[in-house]
A = this chain, B = another copy of it.
Protein backbone atom coordinates (compact mmCIF):
# COMPACT_ATOMS: atom_id res chain seq x y z
CA UNK A 1 0.00 0.00 0.00
CA UNK A 2 1.37 3.45 -0.86
CA UNK A 3 2.05 5.75 2.10
CA UNK A 4 -0.68 8.15 3.22
CA UNK A 5 -0.09 11.62 1.82
CA UNK A 6 -0.25 14.62 4.10
CA UNK A 7 -0.04 18.33 3.41
CA UNK A 8 1.75 19.98 6.34
CA UNK A 9 1.45 23.74 6.82
CA UNK A 10 5.03 24.71 7.59
CA UNK A 11 5.76 28.26 8.72
CA UNK A 12 9.32 27.51 9.76
CA UNK A 13 8.55 28.02 13.44
CA UNK A 14 8.95 25.61 16.32
CA UNK A 15 5.38 24.29 16.33
CA UNK A 16 4.94 23.67 12.60
CA UNK A 17 8.38 22.05 12.33
CA UNK A 18 7.42 19.70 15.14
CA UNK A 19 4.14 19.05 13.33
CA UNK A 20 6.06 18.02 10.21
CA UNK A 21 8.24 15.73 12.32
CA UNK A 22 5.09 14.15 13.80
CA UNK A 23 3.63 13.49 10.32
CA UNK A 24 6.94 11.98 9.24
CA UNK A 25 7.12 9.82 12.38
CA UNK A 26 3.73 8.35 11.43
CA UNK A 27 5.13 7.36 8.05
CA UNK A 28 3.34 10.04 6.08
CA UNK A 29 4.54 11.18 2.67
CA UNK A 30 4.75 14.87 3.46
CA UNK A 31 3.90 17.77 1.17
CA UNK A 32 5.05 20.88 2.99
CA UNK A 33 3.12 24.06 2.27
CA UNK A 34 4.57 27.42 3.23
CA UNK A 35 2.57 30.56 2.58
CA UNK A 36 4.68 33.66 2.07
CA UNK A 37 1.94 36.06 3.05
CA UNK A 38 4.14 39.10 3.57
CA UNK A 39 4.55 38.51 7.29
CA UNK A 40 7.28 40.58 8.91
CA UNK A 41 9.40 37.57 9.63
CA UNK A 42 10.33 36.52 6.07
CA UNK A 43 13.20 34.78 7.72
CA UNK A 44 10.70 32.06 8.60
CA UNK A 45 10.38 31.24 4.88
CA UNK A 46 14.10 30.55 4.65
CA UNK A 47 13.86 28.50 7.82
CA UNK A 48 10.97 26.50 6.35
CA UNK A 49 13.02 25.60 3.27
CA UNK A 50 15.91 24.26 5.34
CA UNK A 51 13.63 22.34 7.73
CA UNK A 52 11.63 20.74 4.89
CA UNK A 53 14.89 19.57 3.35
CA UNK A 54 16.31 18.30 6.63
CA UNK A 55 13.19 16.42 7.72
CA UNK A 56 12.60 15.01 4.25
CA UNK A 57 9.50 15.95 2.27
CA UNK A 58 8.12 14.71 -1.03
CA UNK A 59 7.56 18.29 -2.16
CA UNK A 60 7.68 21.78 -0.68
CA UNK A 61 5.29 24.31 -2.15
CA UNK A 62 5.93 27.94 -1.31
CA UNK A 63 2.84 29.96 -2.14
CA UNK A 64 3.26 33.66 -2.59
CA UNK A 65 0.23 35.56 -1.47
CA UNK A 66 0.62 38.97 -0.02
CA UNK A 67 -1.83 39.43 2.84
CA UNK A 68 -0.54 42.98 3.32
CA UNK A 69 -3.13 43.66 0.60
CA UNK A 70 -5.68 43.08 3.36
CA UNK A 71 -3.66 44.18 6.40
CA UNK A 72 -5.30 44.50 9.79
CA UNK A 73 -2.45 42.91 11.77
CA UNK A 74 0.94 43.80 13.19
CA UNK A 75 2.32 40.99 11.01
CA UNK A 76 0.86 42.34 7.76
CA UNK A 77 0.75 46.09 8.33
CA UNK A 78 3.94 47.93 9.29
CA UNK A 79 1.97 50.74 10.90
CA UNK A 80 0.77 48.35 13.62
CA UNK A 81 3.27 47.64 16.40
CA UNK A 82 4.38 44.16 17.46
CA UNK A 83 3.92 44.04 21.26
CA UNK A 84 7.08 43.53 23.30
CA UNK A 85 8.10 42.70 26.86
CA UNK A 86 4.59 41.70 27.91
CA UNK A 87 4.09 39.57 31.00
CA UNK A 88 2.61 36.08 30.58
CA UNK A 89 -0.63 37.45 32.08
CA UNK A 90 -0.74 40.19 29.45
CA UNK A 91 0.07 37.70 26.66
CA UNK A 92 -2.77 35.44 27.79
CA UNK A 93 -5.32 38.25 27.83
CA UNK A 94 -7.44 39.10 24.78
CA UNK A 95 -6.58 38.94 21.10
CA UNK A 96 -3.15 40.43 20.32
CA UNK A 97 -2.38 42.84 17.46
CA UNK A 98 -0.44 40.00 15.82
CA UNK A 99 -3.75 38.27 15.05
CA UNK A 100 -4.07 38.18 11.24
CA UNK A 101 -7.77 38.44 10.26
CA UNK A 102 -9.08 34.99 9.29
CA UNK A 103 -5.51 33.77 8.81
CA UNK A 104 -5.99 30.10 9.62
CA UNK A 105 -9.22 29.94 7.60
CA UNK A 106 -7.26 31.24 4.61
CA UNK A 107 -4.27 28.95 5.25
CA UNK A 108 -6.51 25.91 5.67
CA UNK A 109 -8.39 26.79 2.47
CA UNK A 110 -5.08 26.89 0.60
CA UNK A 111 -3.95 23.65 2.24
CA UNK A 112 -7.23 22.00 1.22
CA UNK A 113 -6.79 23.17 -2.37
CA UNK A 114 -3.22 21.92 -2.45
CA UNK A 115 -4.28 18.62 -0.83
CA UNK A 116 -6.93 18.05 -3.51
CA UNK A 117 -4.43 18.83 -6.26
CA UNK A 118 -1.81 16.35 -4.99
CA UNK A 119 -4.55 13.92 -3.82
CA UNK A 120 -3.48 14.04 -0.18
CA UNK A 121 -5.63 12.48 2.54
CA UNK A 122 -4.65 14.73 5.39
CA UNK A 123 -3.74 18.28 6.33
CA UNK A 124 -1.60 19.00 9.39
CA UNK A 125 -1.69 22.41 11.04
CA UNK A 126 0.29 23.38 14.16
CA UNK A 127 -2.45 25.35 15.90
CA UNK A 128 -1.89 25.59 19.62
CA UNK A 129 -4.67 26.54 21.99
CA UNK A 130 -2.69 26.75 25.23
CA UNK A 131 -0.13 29.43 24.52
CA UNK A 132 -1.18 32.69 22.82
CA UNK A 133 -4.66 31.36 23.39
CA UNK A 134 -5.99 34.72 22.27
CA UNK A 135 -6.04 33.68 18.62
CA UNK A 136 -9.64 32.60 17.88
CA UNK A 137 -8.55 30.39 14.99
CA UNK A 138 -6.29 28.31 17.23
CA UNK A 139 -9.15 26.90 19.33
CA UNK A 140 -10.27 23.26 18.98
CA UNK A 141 -13.89 24.23 18.22
CA UNK A 142 -12.73 26.18 15.16
CA UNK A 143 -11.13 23.01 13.79
CA UNK A 144 -14.26 20.97 14.51
CA UNK A 145 -16.17 23.47 12.36
CA UNK A 146 -13.50 23.52 9.66
CA UNK A 147 -13.58 19.73 9.35
CA UNK A 148 -17.19 20.06 8.18
CA UNK A 149 -16.15 22.68 5.65
CA UNK A 150 -13.43 20.33 4.38
CA UNK A 151 -15.92 17.48 4.10
CA UNK A 152 -18.65 19.49 2.35
CA UNK A 153 -16.66 21.92 0.23
CA UNK A 154 -14.33 19.64 -1.69
CA UNK A 155 -14.49 17.13 -4.50
CA UNK A 156 -12.83 14.52 -2.29
CA UNK A 157 -15.51 15.03 0.35
CA UNK A 158 -18.28 14.50 -2.19
CA UNK A 159 -16.50 11.34 -3.30
CA UNK A 160 -16.59 10.06 0.28
CA UNK A 161 -12.84 10.53 0.79
CA UNK A 162 -12.75 13.71 2.91
CA UNK A 163 -9.44 15.32 3.72
CA UNK A 164 -8.76 14.95 7.44
CA UNK A 165 -7.58 18.02 9.34
CA UNK A 166 -5.03 17.15 12.04
CA UNK A 167 -4.01 19.47 14.86
CA UNK A 168 -1.53 17.26 16.76
CA UNK A 169 -0.06 19.95 19.03
CA UNK A 170 -3.28 21.81 19.84
CA UNK A 171 -3.45 20.71 23.48
CA UNK A 172 0.29 20.74 24.17
CA UNK A 173 2.19 23.30 26.20
CA UNK A 174 5.22 24.87 24.56
CA UNK A 175 7.37 22.71 26.84
CA UNK A 176 5.55 19.57 25.59
CA UNK A 177 6.23 20.65 22.01
CA UNK A 178 9.93 21.27 22.73
CA UNK A 179 10.26 17.86 24.40
CA UNK A 180 8.45 16.05 21.56
CA UNK A 181 10.39 18.00 18.92
CA UNK A 182 13.67 17.06 20.60
CA UNK A 183 12.67 13.40 20.65
CA UNK A 184 11.70 13.49 16.94
CA UNK A 185 14.91 15.21 15.89
CA UNK A 186 13.54 18.62 14.94
CA UNK A 187 16.52 20.83 14.04
CA UNK A 188 15.68 23.60 16.52
CA UNK A 189 18.68 25.63 15.33
CA UNK A 190 16.99 26.04 11.93
CA UNK A 191 13.57 27.09 13.24
CA UNK A 192 12.52 30.73 13.57
CA UNK A 193 9.73 31.92 15.85
CA UNK A 194 10.50 35.61 16.41
CA UNK A 195 7.95 38.06 14.99
CA UNK A 196 10.89 40.09 13.69
CA UNK A 197 13.34 38.95 11.02
CA UNK A 198 16.56 40.39 12.35
CA UNK A 199 19.97 38.72 12.72
CA UNK A 200 19.14 37.44 16.19
CA UNK A 201 15.74 36.59 17.65
CA UNK A 202 14.56 39.58 19.71
CA UNK A 203 13.66 37.63 22.84
CA UNK A 204 10.98 40.12 23.84
CA UNK A 205 8.05 39.64 21.42
CA UNK A 206 5.26 37.31 22.59
CA UNK A 207 6.48 34.54 20.29
CA UNK A 208 10.09 34.65 21.55
CA UNK A 209 8.98 34.79 25.16
CA UNK A 210 6.69 31.78 24.80
CA UNK A 211 9.41 29.85 23.02
CA UNK A 212 12.05 30.66 25.63
CA UNK A 213 9.63 29.73 28.40
CA UNK A 214 8.93 26.42 26.63
CA UNK A 215 12.62 25.53 26.41
CA UNK A 216 13.17 26.62 30.03
CA UNK A 217 10.32 24.45 31.29
CA UNK A 218 11.45 21.50 29.15
CA UNK A 219 14.93 21.86 30.69
CA UNK A 220 16.54 22.28 27.30
CA UNK A 221 18.74 24.95 25.78
CA UNK A 222 17.33 26.88 22.83
CA UNK A 223 20.20 26.86 20.29
CA UNK A 224 19.06 30.12 18.62
CA UNK A 225 21.01 33.34 19.23
CA UNK A 226 18.89 35.94 21.06
CA UNK A 227 19.38 39.69 21.40
CA UNK A 228 17.95 39.40 24.91
CA UNK A 229 16.98 36.46 27.10
CA UNK A 230 16.04 38.30 30.26
CA UNK A 231 12.54 39.71 30.47
A-side residues, CB < 8 A to B, are 61, 63-67, 69-72, 95, 99-106, 108-110, 112-117, 136-137, 139, 141-142, 145-146, 148-155, 157-158
A110 to chain B, nearest CB (A): 6
A140's nearest neighbour on chain B, judged by CB, is B152
* Distance to closest chain B CB from A156 (angstroms): 9
CA distance A63 to B68 in the complex (A): 10
A66, A103, A113, A157: residue with the most chain B Cβ atoms closer than 10 Å: A113
Q: A95-B158, A145-B145 are in contact. List 10 more A-B contacts (CB 8 A).
A: A70-B117, A101-B112, A101-B113, A102-B112, A105-B109, A105-B149, A106-B113, A141-B152, A145-B148, A148-B148
- Inter-chain contacts of A137 with B (CB < 8 A): 152-154
Do B154 and A72 have beta carbons less than 8 Å apart? no
Is B72 a contact partner of A113 (Cβ separation < 8 A)? yes
Does A114 contact B153, Cβ atoms closer than 8 Å?
A: no
User: Nearest Cβ in chain B — how far from A114, in angstroms?
Assistant: 5
Chain B residue with Cβ nearest A159? B95
Distance of A157 Cα from B105 Cα, bound (Å) = 13
A137 to B110, CA, bound (A): 14
What is the CA–CA distance of A142 and B152 in the complex, to the nearest angstrom?
5
Report Cα–Cα, A65/B150, bound state, in Å: 21
A109 touches B102 (CB 8 A): yes
On chain B, the residues within 8 Å of A152 by CB distance are 136-137, 139, 141-142, 145
Q: How far is it, in angstroms, between the C-alpha of A66 and the C-alpha of B61 when the chains are bound?
A: 13
Q: Which residues of B contact A151 (CB under 8 A)?
A: 145
Bound together, the chains give a CA A145 to CA B146 distance in angstroms of 7
Give, as a whole number of angstroms, the nearest-CB distance from A92 to chain B.
Answer: 14
